[in-house]
Amino acid sequence: MLPTLVVITGPTAVGKTALCVDLAKHFNTEIISADSRQFFKELSIGTAKPTPEEMQNVIHHFVDSHSISQTYNATNFEHDVLNLLNKLFKKHTIVILTGGSGLYIDAVCQGFDENIPEGNEQVRIELEQLYNKYGIKLLQEKLKQLDPKFYLEIDLNNLKRLYRAIEVCMISNDSYAELRQGIKKFRPFNIIKIALTRDKEELYNRINQRVDLMMQHGLLEEVKQVKEYKNHNALKTVGYTELFDYLDGKYTQLEAVEKIKVNTRRYAKKQLSWFNKSNDYTWFHPSEKENIISYINSNILL
């Protein structure tokens, strides 16, 4: 049997964690997290990191694996996961990769196009100066002008990815979206891609409820504890930037919480757009566990 990587993705709050734990127990395997914020030990509540109770003794890799003081990107993740898979496939025929970070999933499944240029320090400094002077809105508009296609796919509140997309466009004089559509790298394992979805109203209600629960469970206190790292890329994301602004007096707490809900819903929409542009995914509702198991079994390669 050819080793199989089962990718389970979908928008935030759709229900990936519970389903993947059930699947991992069914197939007697382990889970690799492809959530670009759950890597960091200091971030738990705002990243909806699975608790030990939710993990149910299933091994989860790349959860609490790094510190926000470390530099860690999708290229590092690709390298580390491929090395890990070499070990895991010696004892498991199936391994689960799950998360909502499409860029990190793509890094593992197909690698990065070698046509994409390396970073340029001078360009990055210029972009950081623009951000410090005019804020994130200007960078969002700049990307919209340079690459309207990728503008519709990216999480516009993720400053790190905004920097990178604009940087590539400026260096290459080409579209980041087009440059990323190169030849996929060979992977010595079968890949089954599954995306989860829910009715829009159902998903948005779950997002709103999750944000309220995060606040009840101490998200504000977590944000206060990591405020000294607020300029790190890992913290320039939804759930943290809004509360940093509250602590700086820009919003009331009620306004900040509402902004988290709005921005999380927007992020979920961006995630759905990212996965919808690929024909590789088969879509299921998270409640369709038995159908998902049957689908995986029917797509295992001998």
User: For 266-290, how does the pLDDT look when each residue is reduced to its tens digit (9 = 90+)?
Assistant: 999 989 988 988 889 999 999 999 9
Report whether 219 contacts 44 (CB < 8 A): no
Measured between alpha carbons, how far is 295 from 288 in angstroms, rounded to an integer?
11
Report whether 230 contacts 43 (CB < 8 A): no
Res. 149: pLDDT tops 80: yes
Helices (runs of H) and strands (runs of E) counted in the chain: 14, 6
Measured between alpha carbons, how far is 224 from 232 in angstroms, rounded to an integer?
14
User: 64: left (phi > 0), else alpha (psi -120 to 50), else beta?
Assistant: left
Q: What angle do CA 207, 219, 56 make, to 5 degrees?
A: 70
Closest CA to 41 of 14, 70, 68, 59: 68
Instruction: Return mean pLDDT, the chain.
Output: 91
| 179 band by pLDDT with thresholds 50, 70 and 90 | low
User: For 231-243, how does the pLDDT look when each residue is reduced to its tens digit (9 = 90+)?
Assistant: 777 788 899 999 9
The residue with greater pLDDT, 215 or 153, is 215
User: For 101-134, how does the pLDDT look when each residue is reduced to its tens digit (9 = 90+)?
Assistant: 888 998 899 886 655 666 677 788 888 888 988 9
Q: Supply the pLDDT for residue 115.
A: 57
Least confident segment among 28-42, 51-65, 138-152, 154-168 = 154-168
Domains, the chain, in order of start with CATH, read 4-111+184-298 (3.40.50.300), 121-179 (1.10.20.140)
Global confidence as pTM: 0.81
